[in-house]
A and B are shown apart, each in its own frame.
Chain A
Amino acid sequence: MLLITCPHCGPREESEFSCGGEAHIARPLAENNLTDAEFADYLFLRDNPKGMFLERWRHAAGCRRWFNMARDTVTHEIVEIYPMGNTPKSKAGKAAHADSWRRDTAAEAAAKPASKSRSKQGG
């Protein structure tokens, strides 16, 4: 059982948290045209890497706040916990974010309004 440091409450047992799966999956806006296959990248495809993984967690039985976590799925080392809307700051976390296949997808590009650009939240 992991010991997770909630950014608001401090270190707590894993049983107080729920895992929300892969982080940084930007939601395409319906106004942007995507093919069904492109949209499926957002809707269905999830990573399951061996090693560094960026994922979302929620302190479900505590403050109920969501946050992001960079965790090694092999060693269970928690490398970094960072707020929603941010990207990781640790070297391993940064690399995992930059190397993700999602960065090049039409689904991610479609998360921004077609005309003006706006920064995406880490949801």
Chain B
Amino acid sequence: MSGTSLFGRGKKDQVSRAASGGRVDRARPLTFTFDGKSYQGYEGDTLASALLANNIHLVGRSFKYHRPRGIIAVGSEEPNALVRVGRGAKAEPNLRATQVELYDGLYAESQNRFPSLKFDIGAVNSILQRFFPAGFYYKTFMWPASMWMTYEHVIRNAAGLGKVADDHNDPDRYEKTNAHCDVLIAGGGVAGLMAALQAGRSGARVILADEQNEFGGWLLGESDTTIDGKTPADWVAGVVAELEAMPEVTLLPRTTVFGYMDHNYITLTERVTDHLGERPVHLPRQRMWKVRAGQTVLAQGAHERPLVFSGNDLPGVMLSGAVRSYINRYGVVPGNRTVVFTNNDDAYRTALALHSAGANVVVVDLRRDLKGELVKAVRAAGIQVMSGSAVTIAAGTQRIARVEISPVNEGATEVLDDPIHMDCDLLAMSGGLTPAVHLHSQARGKLGWDEQLLCFKPTTVHEASFNAGAGNGVFAADKAIENGMQAGTAAARAAGFDIADGSAPEVAAPAQSWRPLAAWKVTNGMGEGEGPKAFVDYQNDVTASDVKLAVREGYQSVEHVKRYTTLGMATDQGKTSNINGLAILAESLGNEIPQVGTTTFRMPYTPSGFGAIAGRDIGDLFDPVRLTRMDDWHRANGATFEHVGQWMRAWYYPKDGETLREAVDREVLAARTTAGLLDASTLGKIDIQGPDAAEFLNRLYTNSWLKLGIGKCRYGLMLKDDGMVMDDGVTTRLGENHFHMTTTTGGAAGVLDWMEEWLQTEWPELKVYLTSVTEEWSVATLSGPNAGKILKAAGVDISLDPVDFPFMAMREAHIAGLPVRIFRISFTGELSYEINIRARHGLALWTHLMKAGAEFGITPYGTEAMHVLRAEKGFIIVGQETDGSVTPQDLGMDWIVSKVKPDYIGKRALDRASMAADNRKQLVGLRTKERKQVIPEGAHAVLDPNQPMPMDMLGQVTSSYYSPNVGSSIAMAMLKGGRALMGGTVYLPMLDGSVIEAEVVEPIFYDPKGERING
């Protein structure tokens, strides 16, 4: 891209850019778009610094009142300048402009404005502010409930942060990675760098992460400091070079440590290509790191606090340190007529930086007795200093235009004299520093109040962790470097590495006091709540008055005030607002700040996109899909599929445009007139071996297993120890100490876990060994009057005579030369063979049977027909008829419950008095009066359809189908006292007001005597 854009803009458009200085590359201009207009910045800019270079302060509207807001900070603590970057599906909202690195072609939009940033209808919220006081969400809920729907719509549109990309899947690629290290260091300022050097020199495996594009932190924004005689940038470059040469050190710039969890489990988001206009396809956009660290060093730095005064949220009101960074690091001078408003020494460095950059400067200091090197230097530069004074009101429309300055008392609670008025276009404010203790606090470290620095700082840690630098309340650069060294040394030693103490580099910086004056809310000379608002929390639009109102309404706990006012919540997590809010709360309560305490900092430190959290686990990779070996055949033959757990099962096989109902009717009829073939490979299969296998089954199932003959099959019902049905299936004795169990498709893994739990925890004396063999076998179930003929035609090498191969037996045999296990069991009530073959031969068996069965009318059927066929016979499906609150007796299956076994899982629970209650839900059949009408599954039954609502519910329909074999609908239901209702009538009211009438019948609709089982 050339130095001038398509719109003919040139370098001269960067009206606030200094001629020289800063870490931007003036030889590499970049063009970007903000709210549809094209601008220019430089390589090395953030979106925020580039906007300020173009003298743009107004960048967004606030969350609640839609007030015009500007950039106030320089890093991740920025509460206002949230923008949406990118277009279409790639658009990402709520990015802090201060963290968005500029690239050529960057496209950004402001948020929370309609129709435009400069004219916003939502700003009417500001006029209607009486309706948005502290706790407005909660109060709104108390309005008439009927109106809530209306209000909610309005409020949801008016409030809230940016919008996500609509109707699009995120096209970008993300990754996740796991890592282990001896020492993880969060923050790459001077303290973090020194900690990394020490830990790295010890040979420890080190990860150093910093959220910015380059290491160095705050010092990159200082022009008055040298380290070992070098500029901070040169010193940092040397340290980074040394770290890069260490093989065990991993440097992660553009990486936010956003979560600190138990046992030093740390989560990081690395922005791999976000800063590039053209993103290489081989790289992910972002990468989430999950790190288990032996030790951590938290060197997060500190955040400067705003001063709380009327109009402090106008664009052009910025944090003092940020102003200095924009000048020194980015070569941007954000104003010409400037007021520096402070309660401490540090802002004097900003005054000097502004002065050097050619701006007019006036310092307004809340303190009276001003002394020290910096004050002297400022006065020597000819800068006017007004001590014992305050900016009581800042005014302007979309940018600060003038201020009122008055002498005030010590706490700035009273105005002592008439104000003077002063025009300005920038106000740099400094309310002191707050250590960023977010990670320390997430890790449940304790905080203590520092009376000198007026901030909370870490006291004791909970995890294996050390704090260092400004984040530890050590603000001076020389002390922070020492502190970082000590922390790095201690962490390396704690991780088992040896390292000498070393000596810290020499730092030369202006001497300054780090003690601010306590003046938490600057009066504007009017009554409480009058005059322009004074904001505490910019992002959540919480004012000093809101905090005071919460106290007047009776809130005392800091956690309650936080939730009531939303102070310190959401994505900002109170970075700039926390201490001011607490201090005003303490004052209102008449209490001390340490007694009020602080709220819990939540992760994430800054928001992390869901893309990085999901990584590659999306789309096809979200969850595995399990396919049977016959899947290709099903697809080739037009099957439709349904998900059963992770399995894809053939649902039905429509022919020539058949509907679901037509196809299923055909399949169901064939299974009872000729033969059907079902892919039953998905059934859970567990191989059980060991001398105590029979005893184990005897304890697991409700019926008796000790005397089951070899080669015989038995149906079993498994209960939880509360007596409720959990699974069922057929288990076969293959040998004296060897069984083959089948479970429901969905229950397979849970049943294996269940069996292992009992073996390992309750009955470790039993010698039993379990193996899941679900995938070892393919299963084709041949069912219907022609099943035997087809098996013969397929060449089975055993006698199928019922005398030789009776119902509920298993035979080993061969079909087409391949060994098979054939189980004569039936889920249809027809003559039925479940043919198990080594999984890899599944497709061969299936196609062979289809060929052999062609002349006998063989018809493949899917899970839908299977459901109809079993329901015709009244066979239950666990999880359909049962829901974890159903006993065998409820199902009318008392016959399967042993009366003689001394114990089995669930036995004692079934003896509970409540299990015999008459009004338990019991399984019944339903015969609709209108015989063809199919009741919707889930319909509720009542005795009196004319009863006023709420009606007395009897229970619900669990299975309901049309049965072509019966020639009518069939249904099963679980009804209260259902057995006693037999022969009576129940009613099923529908949503459309109609009522279905049905007779309660036995839950068996076809071949009640079981005469078809032998074909």
Contacts and interface: CB of A to CB of B under 8 A. Distances in A.
Given A1-B261, A58-B757, A76-B263, A121 B292 contact: no
A2 interface: yes
Interface in B781-799: none
Contacts of A75: 462
B115 to A, nearest CB: 46
A73 B763 CA distance: 29
A57 to B, nearest CB: 11
B262 A84 contact: no
B756 interface: yes
B397 interface: no
Contact of B722 (A20, A43, A65, A85): A43
A30 interface: yes
A121 B762 contact: yes
Contact of A20 (B263, B757, B903): B757
A64 B462 contact: no
A60 B760 CA distance: 13
Interface stretch (B86-94, B573-581, B905-913, B984-992): B905-913
Given A31-B902, A31-B903, A2 B761 contact: no
B764 interface: yes
Contacts of A39: 908-909, 912
B721 A43 contact: yes
Interface string B762-775: 11100000000000
Given A1-B263, A43-B909, A76-B263, A66 B761 contact: yes
B265 interface: yes
Interface in A11-35: 13, 20, 27-31, 34
Interface in B907-946: 907-909, 912-914
B722 A66 contact: no
B497 to A, nearest CB: 19
Contact of A123 (B761, B904, B907, B914): B761
Nearest to A28: B908
B912 A29 contact: no
A45 interface: no
B265 A1 contact: yes
A30 B263 contact: no
A3 B908 CA distance: 38
B760 A65 contact: yes
Interface string B873-909: 0000000000000000000000000000011100111
A122 interface: yes
A contacts with B: majority SS: loop
Bin the interface of chain B by size.
20 to 34
Nearest to A110: B908
Contacts of B908: 28, 30, 34, 39
A87 to B, nearest CB: 14
A56 interface: yes
Contacts of B756: 64, 66
A29 B912 CA distance: 15
Nearest to B759: A66
A36 interface: yes
B760 A66 contact: yes
Nearest to A65: B760
A3 B292 contact: yes
Interface string B248-271: 000000000000011111000000
Contact of A36 (B265, B292, B764, B912): B912
Nearest to A39: B908
Interface in B931-969: none
Contact of A85 (B264, B292, B764): B764
Contacts of A58: 753, 757
Nearest to B758: A123
Interface string A27-70: 11111001010010001000000000000101010001110000
Nearest to B263: A3
A20 B753 CA distance: 11
Contacts of B762: 27, 121, 123
A30 B898 CA distance: 13
B371 to A, nearest CB: 47
Nearest to B178: A13
Contact of B902 (A1, A30, A60, A65): A30
B263 A84 contact: no
A80 to B, nearest CB: 15
B761 A3 contact: no
Contacts of A13: 265, 292
B761 A122 contact: yes
A67 B753 CA distance: 14
A71 B762 CA distance: 22
B761 A84 contact: yes
Contacts of B764: 84-85, 121
A36 B262 contact: no
B827 to A, nearest CB: 30
B907 A30 contact: yes
Contacts of B265: 1, 3, 13
Contacts of A64: 756
Nearest to B914: A36
Interface string A79-117: 000001100000000000000000000000000000000
Contacts of B904: 30
B751 to A, nearest CB: 14
Nearest to A27: B762
Nearest to A78: B263
Nearest to A30: B903
Contacts of B757: 20, 58, 66
B721 A27 contact: yes
A60 B753 CA distance: 9
Given A64-B756, A121-B762, A2 B903 contact: no
Contacts of A65: 760
Contacts of B462: 75
A39 B913 CA distance: 12
Given A43-B909, A84-B760, A121-B762, A29 B262 contact: no
Contacts of B262: 1-3, 76
Contacts of B902: 29-31
B178 to A, nearest CB: 8
B903 A29 contact: yes
Interface string B738-763: 00000000000000010011001111
28 contacts: A1-B261, A1-B262, A1-B265, A2-B262, A3-B262, A13-B265, A20-B761, A27-B721, A27-B762, A28-B908, A29-B902, A30-B903, A30-B908, A31-B903, A36-B912, A36-B914, A43-B722, A60-B753, A64-B756, A65-B760, A66-B761, A76-B262, A84-B760, A84-B761, A85-B764, A121-B763, A121-B764, A122-B761
Given A43-B722, A121-B761, 14 more contacts: A1-B265, A13-B265, A27-B721, A27-B762, A30-B904, A31-B902, A31-B903, A43-B909, A56-B761, A58-B753, A84-B761, A84-B764, A121-B763, A121-B764
Interface of A: 1-3, 13, 20, 27-31, 34, 36, 39, 43, 56, 58, 60, 64-66, 75-76, 84-85, 121-123
Interface of B: 261-265, 292, 462, 721-722, 753, 756-757, 760-764, 902-904, 907-909, 912-914
Closest 9 pairs between A and B when the two form their complex, measured CB to CB: A123-B761, A30-B903, A3-B263, A123-B762, A1-B265, A66-B760, A30-B908, A30-B907, A76-B262
